[in-house]
Structure 1
Amino acid sequence: MHFDLADLRLFIHVAESPSLTQGARRAHLSPAAASARIKALEAQLDSRLLYRDSRGVELTPAGKKLLQHARLVLRQVDYLKGEFTRYGADSAGHIRIFANTTAVTEFLPEILAGFLAQRPGVTVDLQERLSRDIVRGVLDGSTDLGIIAGPVQAQGLEVLHFSTDRLVLAVPVDHPLASEPRVDLGRTLAYQHIGLHEGSTLLTFLRDQVDKLGATLSLRIQLSSFEAVCRMIEAGVGIGIIPESAARRHSRTMRLALVELDEPWAIRERSVLVRELDALPGSVRALIAALVPGST
């Protein structure tokens, strides 16, 4: 059985697009040519790969399996190219990162700025994802590395710890809870919360904890950054649970009171997830070394 890399790349484009037409456009092919190639691939595998209808395309079970393998094959090809690039072992390549909200908004931009400034041949695709999607992405090869907070329950991954943070409650300085040394999650639910946007890792995590209490999280407004959340809290709009690192930074310029959360899950270990560190291209290992000194 012979696979054409161009056909595998086309299949990935189609699978990641809402329609065959858009997938074909990403592959710089006409829809007719793309359709013919997909049909030839289906004939070679003797399996239907896509359901086609007026709304677009949907992967069949066989298509989902092929997508997983195609991503791994092409990622390995990219790794091979990166190892032999004229720029050097760690100075060129494309890195895809799946990370949680805190990483994307708080510390990764600064780390990536310095890393990319020194490596003009490197490009990065940084995507905010939920924890379960980060783990799944590393396992199936759809991302080079994942950055996550909290325990990791997955076999087949290398987990590289690089820092510890904790979640705290941020309230206005004159709030009834401001003088408390610590509070549990249940007590905070009597007040309206300021939260991050839908789909953010932290909001999803907090909702899971609230659900375990059989309670409801009352959100007054949802915002896209911890700075915006803190400004709303300072103005007395509500209270919020955010990482201590972000809370302390913004409390230097805003009138906020930080209260310890009396919950075992408030302390969060940050980790980098990879499938096999030694098999990664030089550019990815160099970024991991910037995140986790001494790891490579």
Structure 2
Amino acid sequence: MHFDIIDLRLFTHIAEAGNLTKGADRAALSPAAASARLKALEAQLGQRLFYRDSRGVTLTAAGETLLRHARVILRQVEHVRTDFSADPTTAAGHFRLFANTTAINEILPKVLADFLGERPHVAVHIEERNTHDVVRSILDSSADVGVVAGVVTTEGLESRCFSTDRLVLVTPPRHPLAGLTVAAFSETMGYPHVGLRGSTLQEFLVQKARLAERRLDMRILMGSFESMCCMIESGVGIGVLPESAALRHSQHAKLRVIQLSDEWSIRERRVLYRELDALPACARAFVNLLCK
């Protein structure tokens, strides 16, 4: 069975666009040429790859399988081109890095500043995703490296724990819980909470409350740790944040930071990838720097 890189790239473009014409345009082919190549690819595989209707195309089960493999193959071709075209004296290269909110705000700024400061010719494409999306993106090769904090299922991936962080309770100074040095999460459930919108952390806390057969009173959901702390300081509610974020913002705001006694408040920070040796050289260097 012979696979043409051009056909795999075309197939991936069509799958991601959900439209043959748009996919063909991204591949710099005419719709007629793209359709002919796609039919030849389906004939070679003996499988239908797309369902077609008036709205566009959607992947069949066989198409989903091929897309996973195609992304891996295309990423590896890209990595080979990068590694062998790079000037060793300039250490050029690029990789895709996906990370959750905690990692984006609390881990990566300093690490990337050091990493890129020593490698001015390296480019990093970085996107903020929730933890589930980070894992899925590494599995389907949409990203090369993922950085997350908290509970994560890494089946099918390689991962390394590079540090730990703690979740803490943050309250305004005059809150009834503000005088505590340690509190259980269950003690917070009777008070309005400020949460982080669309985050894995928010999902995790709601799940913990559900397991305790309680319900979190979510007063408001914010888009960042900074905006959460502003709302908490103003008295809107209390919140659970990574300790690193809480301590940083408490330097400029009137906040009380209280340790949580729950075992799950200690979280691992992990870097994820499919296979270390298959990463481009610059991505391997990033992983090694993060884990040193």
| Residue equivalent to 1:229 | 228
Q: CA RMSD in A?
A: 2.1
Query: Which residue number in structure 1 is paired with residue 17 of structure 2?
Result: 17
- C-alpha displacement of 1:31: 3.6
Shift of 1:151: 4.4
Match in the other structure for 2:167: 167
Q: Report what 2:94 is aligned to.
A: 94
Are the aligned partners of 2:9 and 2:70 in contact in 1 as well (CA < 8 Å)?
yes
- CA distance, structure 2, for counterparts of residue 33 and residue 137 of structure 1: 30
Match of 2:65 in 1: 65
Q: Do the aligned residues in 1 keep the contact of 2:189 with 2:217 (CA within 8 Å)?
A: yes
Q: Aligned equivalents of 1:90 and 1:272: distance in 2?
A: 26
Q: Distance in 1 between matches of 2:10 and 2:212?
A: 47
Answer yes or no: is the 8 Å Cα contact 1:71–1:141 preserved in 2. yes
Q: Residue type of the partner of 1:223?
A: M
Q: Could you tell me which residue of structure 2 aligns to residue 135 of structure 1?
A: 135
Aligned residue runs from structure 1 range 181-220, under 5 A: 181-198=181-198, 200-220=199-219
Using structure 1 for the length normalisation, give the TM-score.
0.90
> Is the Cα contact below 8 Å between 1:90 and 1:282 reproduced in 2?
no
Give the equivalent residue in structure 2 for 1:242.
Answer: 241
Gaps of 5+ in 2: none
Instruction: Call closer, same or farther: CA 1:9–1:111 in 2, change over 3 Å.
Output: same
Q: Note if contact 1:10-1:24 (Cα within 8 Å) is conserved in structure 2.
A: yes
- Tell me by how many angstroms 1:258 deviates: 0.9
1:1-12 correspondence runs (5 A): 1-12=1-12
Amino acid at match of 1:176: P
| Whole-angstrom CA distance in 1 between matches of 2:14 and 2:86 | 31
CA distance in 1, matches of 2:194, 2:105: 17
Query: How far is the alpha carbon of 1:90 from its aligned partner?
Result: 8.1
Question: Matched residue of 1:16: which SS?
Answer: helix
Identity of aligned residues (%): 54
Mapped partners of 1:244, 1:151: distance in 2: 16
Q: Which letter does structure 1 place at the counterpart of 2:109?
A: P
Describe the shift of the 1:73–1:211 C-alpha distance in structure 2 as closer, same or farther (beyond 3 A).
Answer: same
Q: Residues 60-83 of structure 1: CA distance to partner in whole angstroms, max 9, x if unpaired?
A: 110110011101111111221122
TM-aligned CA deviation for residue 156 of structure 1: 4.3
Instruction: Tell me which amino acid in the other structure corresponds to 1:265.
Output: W
Work out the CA distance in 1 between the residues paired with 2:114 and 2:34: 40
1:102 Cα offset (Å): 0.5
User: Number of paired residues?
Assistant: 292
Cα–Cα, structure 1 residues 235 and 62, in superposed 2: closer, same or farther, change >3 Å? same
Q: After the TM superposition, which parts of structure 1 deviate over 4 Å for at least 4 consecutive aligned residues? A: none
Alignment-mate amino acid for residue 54 of structure 2: S
Q: How does 1:256-295 map to 2 (within 5 A)?
A: 256-293=255-292
Determine the structure 1 residue equivalent to 2:125: 125
Check 1:289–1:239 CA distance in 2 against 1; reply closer, same or farther (3 A cut).
same
1:145-204 C-alpha deviation (Å, 9 max, x unpaired): 221223444444332221110111111011111112222222222222111122x22122
Residue of structure 2 equivalent to 1:84: 84
| Residue 108 (structure 1) aligned with residue 108 (structure 2) | yes
CA–CA separation in structure 2 for the residues paired with 1:173 and 1:158: 43
Paired residues of 1:129 and 1:201 also in contact (CA < 8 A): no
Question: Is this contact kept in 2: 1:79–1:280, CA < 8 A?
Answer: yes
Unaligned runs of 5+ in 1: none
Contact 1:89 1:283 in 2 (8 A): no
Q: CA–CA distance in 2 between the matches of 1:21 and 1:204? A: 38
Q: Tell me the equivalent position of 1:37.
A: 37
* Structure 2 SS opposite 1:214: coil
